[in-house]
Amino acid sequence: MKNTLPETGAFYARDRAWQPPALTPLYKTSVTRSPQRAMLSLDGTKTEITGPVFGHNILGELDNDLIRNYARPGEMPIGQRILVHGRVLDERGKGVGGALVEFWQANAGGRYRHKKEMYLAAVDPNFGGVGRTITDEDGYYWFKTIKPGPYPWMNWVNDWRPAHIHFSVFGHGFAQRLITQMYFEGDPLIWKCPIVKTIPDEAAIRQLIAPLDMNATIPMDMRAYKFDIVLRGRRSTFFENRKEGN
Amino acid sequence: MVQSLGYLKETASQTAGPYVHIGCTPNFCGIEGVFPTDLGSGPLYNDKTKGERIKVRGFVYDGTGTALKDAMVEIWQADADGFYNSPSETRGKADPNFFGWGRQPGDMATGEFCFDTIKPGRVPFRDSDPRPMAPHILFWIVARGINIGLQTRMYFSDEETANAEDPILSRIEHQVRVPTLIGKRQGDTYRFDIHLQGPDETIFFDI
């Protein structure tokens, strides 16, 4: 973390026309899990301005290496080796340092390692599909993994999820808490997916698609995809409380 | 044309999906050996934490009255004296033995969640408006079918005076809905059920 005073202002209002609404009937499960009454909107209080910040002491050496963190000694998972990297920023373009980023995904065949998963594609004995990291002072993060495969799901008769990696991000205040999914450049399934299409604005969807990044690719080893994540911006405390001398 | 403001747009949310446990509570769903424990599991307190030990239990119900069995619930709360363990806490130091954050999946068979925590103290509303809020715990719910995390609060049934002067509870137009935010005390346990939809729908916050 940089040696600067922590920021204490409230966060910019969330753009609810940009974010997916709760009720999106083409994604069937949302029908009974979406509130029908309007949300109660108000400017952030102490409760949402603050939030947990995690220390590096929670991290193990292989936490951001999904190629090795579940593999048996001397073995490796099967699939396309990739590096996923990028920055966690806020809406002002400032890097969010010290942010915990968690990620999870299916294996190369689209199979998740989960008790309730029933897809017939094989489990990979050397792939768990979970990792985490903490951004550096500029908000940068990276992890190594296997590119996940598309995955069929019980929604409409023939729905397939595009290849995707789930992300969970903590910023500096609980108001920034976010879970999202990263998609891969050029995947034709993106534009058919009812979960992707819960997002009303095409520009917001494009922001979830990671481009192939040949400059970060490691020759003869792994390709790279770049994925930046933007959290809510933070107002100056000037507008909140002049006593703090901003 | 005018100048561009130059702001970025917040990354759009997507559902956590049915396998959120793989990423957030891997040990709970049988992926062992990657992380020693699941982050945020277990009691939020230790032997030295100040404050009254309580349990908070409940279910998350969908619009048909069925309990979700694949939700993940996180809580965030102040310590016994009303300080948050956060770099953005400006008023003083929080109890070093209380982190204030917890995460629980629902029981795989029933869907019930349970947090072992302490009862939080009162926190001022804002720097510019320091009226005390009533003791409360922030709840954040994600699951399959929920496109963006739902945020609400649990207040305490045995804090009637504080609840009556809470700056948020007192401004809710539909006072008939306030009970959806109150955890009901039974011994050392507060029962707090969350209804995503329907006649008992919980109040959710855009905040």
Ordered structural domains, chain A, with CATH: 53-230 (2.60.130.10)
**Closest by Cα among B78, B85, B79, B69 to B18:** B69
What's the pTM value of the predicted model, to 2 decimals? 0.96
Contacts A198 to B, Cβ<8 Å: 14-15, 147
Secondary element (H or E) of residue B21: helix B20-24
A93 touches chain B (CB under 8 A): yes
Handedness of CA B43, A132, A3, A237 (dihedral sign): negative
pLDDT in tens, B170-194: 999 999 999 999 999 999 999 999 9
pLDDT band at residue B1, thresholds of 50, 70 and 90? confident
CATH 3.40.50.1980 matches B18-195: no
Contacts A116 to B, Cβ<8 Å: 18-19, 70
pLDDT in tens, A135-159: 999 999 999 999 999 999 999 999 9
Tokens representing B1 are 């044309």
ipTM above threshold 0.90: yes
Q: Nearest C-alpha of chain A: how many angstroms from B28?
A: 10
**Closest by Cα among A169, A116, A146, A193 to B21:** A116
> A69 and B34: CB-CB below 8 Å?
yes
Distances (CA, A) of A229 to A10, A57, A180, B11: 20, 24, 9, 6
pLDDT band at residue A3, thresholds of 50, 70 and 90? low
Report whether A130 contacts B31 (CB < 8 A): yes
Q: What is the DSSP letter of A202?
A: H
Please say if A151 is a catalytic residue.
yes
pLDDT mean across residues, chain B: 97
User: What's the rounded Cα separation, in Å, for the pair A30 and A38?
Assistant: 16
- Residue B107: the pLDDT is 95
- Residue A74: the pLDDT is 96
User: What's the rounded Cα separation, in Å, for the pair B141 and B150?
Assistant: 5
Q: Nearest C-alpha of chain A: how many angstroms from B62?
A: 5
Using only C-alpha atoms, chain B has a radius of gyration, in whole angstroms, of: 18
Q: Nearest C-alpha of chain A: how many angstroms from B187?
A: 27
> A91 and B6: CB-CB below 8 Å?
no
Domain spans of chain B, in order of start: 18-195
Of A114-118, A196-200, B7-11, B109-113, give the lowest mean pLDDT range: A114-118
- Residue A237: the pLDDT is 66
B166 touches chain A (CB under 8 A): no
Question: Residue B94 pLDDT > 50, yes or no?
Answer: yes
- Residue B30: the pLDDT is 93
**Rounded to 10 degrees, what is the CA torsion of A78, A86, A181, A161?**
-40
**Rounded to 10 degrees, what is the CA torsion of A172, B11, B151, A244?**
30
Q: What is the DSSP letter of B178?
A: G
User: What's the rounded Cα separation, in Å, for the pair B127 and B20?
Assistant: 36
Give me the residues of A, 43-62, that contact B with CB < 8 A: 43-54, 58, 60, 62
